[in-house]
Amino acid sequence: MKFIRKISFKIWFPFSLCLVLLMAFIAFYYPRKLQELYVNSKKAELSQLAKTVALGVELSLSSDDFVGLKKTIDFAAANHDFDFVAVVVKDSLGSGSEILTSYPADIELQKVTSRDTLSYVYESAPVSTESFKGEIVLRYSNNRLSDLITEIERPVYWTIFIFGTLSLIAFYFFARGISNPIQNLIQFTNHLSSGDFEVKSKFKNKSDELGELADAILILQSNLKSGKQRNQELTEGLENEIRLRTVELERLSLVAKTTTNSVIITDENKKIQWVNDSLLKLSGYSREEIVGNYPNMFQFEKTDPDTLAYIKEKLFVNEPVSAEILNRGKFGNEYWLVLNIVPLLDSDKKLYGYIAIETDITDKKKYEEEQKLLFELTQSQNLRLKNFAHIVSHNLRSHSANIQVLSKILIEKHPELASDDFAKHIQTSSENLLETIDHLSEVALMLTNKQGHLEVINLSTKANKAIGSITALADGANVNIINEINSSTRILGLTAYVESILLNLLTNAIKYSDDSKPNKFIRLYEENTPEYVVLCVQDNGIGVDLEKHGRKIFGMYKTFHRHPDSRGIGLFMSKNQAEALGGNIEIQSEVGVGTIFKVYFKFENE
Amino acid sequence: MSRRICIIDDDPICVFTTKIIIEASNQFDDILIYSSGIDAFEELSKIQDKDLFPEIIILDINMPIWDGWDFLNESIAHPFVSNARIFVVSSSNDPEDIMKAKSYSIVEDFILKPVDISRFL
């Protein structure tokens, strides 16, 4: 079987064809050769016989020597090898022939003399009888065998042809039966090897080695198929991933390229590998000058060594670092950067490079410097103001206090001076001086003490307290005071300031109440904004002409009414106090209708 | 028993006026006057007799050598302070000074100049 399988169909078919042709040739050639050999042997045999006969015949047909001829005939008859054997006597004149004796006995002359019979003429045996003079011819035919051969020749050929054809066909199918599965296998494996895993197998289950081979190949196919499918899935996943990554990468590279920030990418030895255009613009270097160089090319003697040390320290332990640093470009231009460096680590935490993103903060730095200067200036001014406040509250005040008390004692000690205009004026002036200095120092202190330690204050409680302390005044002026402030409203402030503001606004409102109105009132309520608690103090008093006095209303020593008590310090103080608490005061007023003061306090949120 | 009062102040005008006001009140028999915190401390700490110790000390803040705070810091651990009512007086209306003065347990009150005698009588 193994041997046959080794012979491929291509060899097997010509081989079997040649075999058939050879057999046909043998079948065709051999009987003829046999016939020829047979005929020749018989000829020789007969000739020998005839010679013997002739030698014994001293030729008289009537004689007993004729026995020899008889024997020949008998021999022929006994052998059955001849169609016929006849002794023909030919007339010497050639005028006729006559069968002398024959086998079979009743043979016709015509058959004996027909062309296709073989004859042997013993010419040296002349016949001489009285009646007949001629020659004796021994004629015979072995047509029997020839005919036999001729007779069986055709069926033999047919048989050979049919047999050969059948055997060819059989061979073909046989070969096919062997080679087809192999062919199939070959074809199948060819398909598989060309990557077509979907091909249907044509094998039928066979229990021989071929079947096992086929089974093995089928298993291989299914393995390949699932492998291919998995491969395909993996490939698709990978392709998808690659596509996403590519998009992301493109976007990132677009960002890196087009960002106004400078971007530097280095290898693990800080050797620059890539920079974006922003850096080129900022530094003035060309890409060729930068790539392959090291970032310290941008540093110079004014770059803070402590910052550099800090960066180095952080990068040494592979930590990201952010720092502000002064760099210098190609043409000596100095610029401040916020430098963000991130070490690039692979999945094994192994360093493979750094990426640095730099933001130009030169303008910001400049602005910061200016701000710093401004701040220092403000601070020094504030300090001077504080000194001024100190001078006012200590030095000036001590002198004026002395003058005031001296003048007072002087008049007490010398009662006759009490009626003296000079003494009286000195005393009044000294008292006014002391009061003015007190106000001045208070305001100066307020301004220097802005937004100090603010405390949480319940506005409604303070309002009630203020209302309580001026009840007598309000009752005297017949003014009704309504407190509508939410009892839970809390603000950030200083108790002294808040009380002072409330008291000042309330006394103001009572002072400038309109006696011509029957229901004089003061209403306190809230009108809050997201950032402020707005205390509103509304009255229906005489009002103030804001167009005329609006700008000066919160100024020092401004009064707009000929009221006996108005000295114009209250609103100035209140405004300063509100501002010191981080708020403000506004006024809305209409002459004859009334006034609303709005005080902005800081919300207390927590 | 004679009532004694003590003024510690370097401003002669202030001492002069305060003295007049105290004398005018007719409440005190004896007025001790020191122009520096250190003088006052040294002299006051010498007084052994409890009855001779001033009933009231009027202490100015701004003084050379030892200012009012120095005097308070030194006196706080000294037994004599328990015998006296200490009033800090100053021409300064600086809230910081006022708060600081009130933070001393031995200080009874802060009085803004000019001195009003009714505050400690």
| CA distances to A53, A272, A284 from A266, in Å | 131, 4, 19
Whole-Å CA distances, A197 to A193, A226, A235: 9, 9, 17
Residues in chain A within 8 Å Cβ distance of B24: 412
pLDDT at A503 exceeding the cut of 60? yes
For B44, the 3-state DSSP assignment is helix
User: Hey, which bits of A527-565 come out as E strands?
Assistant: 532-539
* pLDDT at A325 (0 to 100): 92
Residue A456, pLDDT above cutoff 50: yes
- What would the mean pLDDT of A354-381 be, rounded to a whole number? 90
pLDDT tens for residues A345-355?
988 889 999 99
pLDDT at A206 over 70: no
Distance (Å, whole) CA A150 – CA A171: 31
* pLDDT at residue A538 greater than cutoff 50: yes
DSSP classification of residue A196: -
pLDDT above 90: residue A266: yes
pLDDT of A186 > 60? The answer is yes
Q: Tell me how crowded residue B112 is: count the other CB atoms within 10 A of its CB.
A: 17
**Higher per-residue confidence, B56 vs A115:** B56
Closest CA to A333 of A353, A360, A359: A360
pLDDT at A202: 65
Given its phi and psi angles, is residue A332 left (phi above 0), alpha (psi -120 to 50 degrees) or beta? left
Which residue on chain B is closest to A438 by alpha carbon?
B93
pLDDT at res. A550: 73
> Given an 8 Å threshold on Cβ–Cβ distance, is A402 in contact with B95?
no
Query: Are A405 and B24 inside 8 Å of each other by CB?
Result: no
A292 pLDDT tier (thresholds 50, 70, 90)? very high
Rounded to whole angstroms, how far apart are CA atoms A199 and A191?
7
A398 touching chain B per CB within 8 A: yes
Note the pLDDT tens digit of each residue in B60-71.
988 888 888 888
More confident position, A270 or B65: A270
pLDDT band, residue A65 (cuts 50/70/90): very low
Task: Provide the sign of the torsion angle of the four alpha carbons B25, B30, B32, B33, taken in this order.
Answer: positive
**Average pLDDT score over residue span A477-482:** 90
Of A53-62, A491-500, B46-55, minimum mean pLDDT range = A53-62
Q: What is the pLDDT of residue A133?
A: 53
pLDDT tens digits along A540-591 = 988 888 888 777 777 765 555 544 454 556 788 888 888 888 889 999 998 8
Across chain A, mean pLDDT equals: 79
Q: Which of B20, B24, B93 sits opposite A441 (nearest CB)?
A: B93
pLDDT at A176 over 80: no
Per-residue pLDDT of chain B (121 residues; tens, 9 = 90+): 678 899 999 888 889 888 888 888 888 888 999 988 888 888 888 887 777 888 899 999 888 888 888 888 888 887 777 778 899 998 877 777 888 888 988 888 999 888 888 877 7
Report CB contact under 8 Å: A393, B92.
yes
Residues of chain A above pLDDT 90, percent: 20
Which of A476, A474, A455, A456 lies closest to A464 in space, CA to CA? A474
Residues of A in contact with B93 (CB under 8 A): 393, 397, 438, 441-442
Q: Tell me the pLDDT tens digit for each residue of A22-51.
A: 877 877 777 677 777 766 776 676 666 665
Any CB–CB contact under 8 A between A393 and chain B? yes
pTM: 0.43
Give pLDDT, residue A379.
85
Query: What is the pLDDT, as a whole number, of residue A59?
Result: 43
Average confidence (pLDDT) over A359-381? 89
Position A125 scores a pLDDT of: 46
Cβ–Cβ contact A409 with B under 8 A? yes
Contacts of A58 (CB under 8 A, 6+ apart): A65
How far is CA A414 from each of CA A401, A424, A596, B27, B117, rounded to the nearest angstrom?
20, 12, 51, 22, 20
Q: Which of A393, A405, A438 sits opposite B114 (nearest CB)?
A: A405
Structure tokens at B75: 């006196």
The residues, ordered by sequence, that sit 6+ positions from A159 with a Cβ below 8 Å of its Cβ are none
Return the closest-CA partner of residue A46 out of A26, A72, A8: A72
User: What percent of chain A stands above pLDDT 70?
Assistant: 75
